[in-house]
Every structure is written in C-alpha cells, then in structure tokens.
Structure 1
Amino acid sequence: MERRALLSALSGVGLSCLAGCTDRISSAAGLSTDGQEKFDHQYPDGAGPNHVDFSTLKSDNNTVLHTPRTHWNSYAILYTEPPEHRRVEGEYYINSSTGEVISDLWDGAKDYRNGDTYAYVQPAAQIPHEHQREELERDDEFVYDNTTNAYYRYDRLYGQFAPTNIGRHTEILGYYRWKATDRTTHHGVTAITYQLADLESKDSRVPRAITGTLQLGVEDGIIYAFDITLDDAEDELRYTYSVRPVAFPDHDWVETARTVVAANNTDDESTD
C-alpha cells in the first residue's frame, strides 16, 4: 500500500508547475504595469519584472530538495493549507550533510529516507477512519507494535523509490500572473518579491485570488516562500509555504521501526 496521497489540484484541476530552478541568470530592466520604470534587477531564466514562467523554472536539474543545502546545514519545506481543503500532503526536513529527509504527513504519520533506507510510522490513535486501520492490518509491509500503539514500516531498499510531494506545493502559483515589486533576502538568500498582477486565475475552474506574494531566488530560481489567499465563494482559503533553515528533527522512532520490523520477521521465520 502506498501511503502517499498525491492529490490533484484545486477543483479537480491537475496542477503542473513544479518549482525548479536554474543557475543561469539574465539581467533585466522593465516597466511596471503603469508604465513607470522599474528597478534594475537580475532574474533567473523564466522570470522577469512582469512575469514568472514556472515551466521554464522547473526545467533545470536543481531542485528545492538539493539546492538549498548550499545555504544551510539543515532546512525545512514548511506548508500550511485550510484543513477542509487539503491539497498537498507533507512538510519536509532535510539534513544537508547526510541527505536524510523526514516527512511530516497527514494524521500524525512520518516517514524517513536516507539513501536506500526507508522507515515509516503511523500512530494508531491518530488514524481517522477504521478502513485505513484495516488497510494497514492487511498490508504485510506494516507491523503493529502494541507498546507504542503504532504501525511501522522499515525497508533497506525502498528509500530511493519512495515518492514524495516535494515540488507540488508551489503548483498553485502557476495559475496566476505575477509582477516583481522588490529585492529582498530570505534567511540570507537573495530573492525577488513578486505580487499578484491579476487576481483572476488563468483557468476559470480555479478560484480567483484575494492577495498573494512569492519570493524567488535570484541565483537559482527556487521559490523560497509564498503566501496566497483564494476566494472560494464561501470561504477565504489561505496557503503558505516557506523554505528556511530549521534544526533536523530527532528521529529515534526510526530505530524503533527497524527493531519492531526485525522482530516481526524473526517471529515469522520461526513459525514457518
């Protein structure tokens, strides 16, 4: 069973603008929408004073999973969304020196990957629906531990194959038009601040925006932050995102997962 919930976009529309980056930089000076001259600026390929081409940004090999490691010893990809309108599962913590990645998932679950090694924990008390518990019980990849009241998976070969949602958080931005307004720093990284140039979405099936800003790395084209609020007729839907330095979390539960699964495998072998 794959626990990963790779969801589609708002209103059933598939979003497709993964925020990647490039280290090729072009200089540009432009005009604001009212015709006044804007500040002189450097922009990564795919961006300019009055546009962000998210498909161009994503075409480079650098990604938010790797490029920020040159800035910080460890960092997080943090994301918030309305609980009743969940789009993308997962916040991520990256250890720059070891390459370890920990994901905070829905319903209190976590997973861990380091090279080929993969571990997963789902606290039983936080499973919202009985059918989800039943799925875990039926899946041979997961082992229940009565002492910790949690389900575990530990696999020495799955780490490179386990899917993530890294890069999908920013897909929402591609439905709107943007204009540069300022040059700033984001936790020491030089960035360009963009605001919405048009509140209407490019797709009529996607809600219009109320407010929105994003911060784009000047040298790498990484989207380091955004804050956007959408008008969903009945509710205002706010989504926020930030890539920033954070201490790598404690993860003693990974060793618990290894021990629980190893003991279960031993028990299975003894009964064969």
Structure 2
Amino acid sequence: MKIIEATNISKKYKSNSFYSLKDINFAIEEGDIVGLIGKNGAGKSTLLKLMAKAQKPTTGTIKFKGKDISKSSNILDKFGIMIEPIFYPHLTVYENLMFFLEIHKKEQYVDNIKSILELVDLWHAKDRKPMDFSFGMKQRVSLALSLITEPDFMILDEPFVGLDPIGVKKLIGILQQWSTTKHTSMIISSHQLNELEDLCNRYIFIESGKLKTQFDDKKNFLVIQLDLQDSQSQRIANSVASKYKLELRGQLLELPIAIEKDQLNEILEQLSSQKLVEKIYTTKDELESYFTEE
C-alpha cells in the first residue's frame, strides 16, 4: 500500500530564477524506511518541508494514503516530524510533551509519555528544562515529540547531526524498534551513509533539484560494472546472469558477497576473457558514489 505518493512536484521560490525542485515523482510504501540522499543544496530539505506542509509546491501533488495533503485538513495528524529541534525551553521535558498533546487535542496519548521518554533515555530528565541540554539531548526531546502520538509516517531531516557515536547508535536503535513494533514508515535525509545503511530499505537520490535515481538497498552485494558495447557482449552478460541466477541492471551485474569461490571465479573468468569487466565495487561504494561523482 502506498502511504506517500509524490507526483510532478516542483518548487520555485519567487526570489529565484531557477527551480529548487523540478518534476519529482516517487512513492513510499507502508513499512518503507527511505533514505533521502544528495549533496548540499540538492533540494532535500525543501522536499521534506513540502511533505510537512511547511511550504506549498509550485506544481504537483503529494498524497498521504490517497489524499492530497494540500486539500485536506488535519491530514498530517498521523505524521511525526523532526526537521529541527523544536520545543519550549522554559517548560520541562514532561511539560513539553503534555503541552504538545493538549494543543493538538491528543490527550489520549498521555499514557505514552513515560514509555516514550524511557525509549529515548530521557525519563530521568523529565523534570528538567531542555534549554540547558546538550545538542544530543535536545534531539531526543524532538524525537520524543515526533513519536508520542504513534505516527504512521515520520519525516526526519539530518537526525544524526551533532550526536556522538553512542547517541547515533541509540537513535538508530530507537527508529529500528519503532519501525518493527509500530510498522511506521519513514523518510530520513542524512549525509551519514553508514547510519542510513543500518536503517533504510530504499533510497531516493536528488541532484540539483531533480530525482536522479531511486533504488532498493541491497546489503552485502558485489557489483560488476560491464563494458557492453555490442550485441555479442550483451548476450554474454545475459547468459552469465541467467546461468548463475544473478540480476543484471543495465551494465551492472549484482552478486551476493557470500557467493561461493568457485562460482565467483567462473563468472569473472567468463567475463574477463571477453574483456567485459570495467569495475568491481560493493553496494556501499555505489551509495557513496552519489556524493563523489562530478
């Protein structure tokens, strides 16, 4: 089931002569954890703000469970949003959560406060005011606010920034636990690829305001980039893929890292004897390449 569907989304600010986003199309299925990747200025934060209704698209629609978010009142009722740490610094952590529930008329979730604060490791600090917290603790206050109403969909923009390795590990654990137990879908924008790899099953890559590609995460895979310049080389690649039950995506042949040694040598021998092997890398290298390619 599609929980989010973006169709021909474009955004042009009045002060700019160019589009910050142009004709973006994608869907997020129920249960997906999608990594939104791209270089600085690519348009990632703009896209998240459009999804959070903080801004309006110039053209296009974003639907949540089939309903256009721009035409439906209270459509974000089941969203959890963590675009930047937002709370009232003069209120305690507990009072922040209570106030959040009161102004959104969601007092039925009051009983969640203790369990959520325990989940983000802030129950011991419930009576403290977050203005004196470290950045990591402020992040966790914001995370608690985004989780308290048991959202169906979460938007997280650079949630790992400013966290030490222990804080990052805790946040990943929290999001993994929430996804597993609550079946919450998420889109997470981050430059920290190692953290995204631990969480995401899909990626959307934006470059200069355009959606360059989107792909499923395939952990523990080798990728052989092939030089397929004619029909004969294409036939050889298809034959190898079919014989060893491998996936051939254009010029990319994917092999599980755990492939048996004999099979790996046979595959490489058949391809290299025809000088078809251009490059070999892992799927992690492929993900990192989106930040290094010029």
> Which structure is higher in strand share?
1
Common fold: TM-score over 0.5: no
Bigger Rg over Cα: 2
TM-score by length of 1: 0.25
Identify the structure with the greater helix proportion. 2
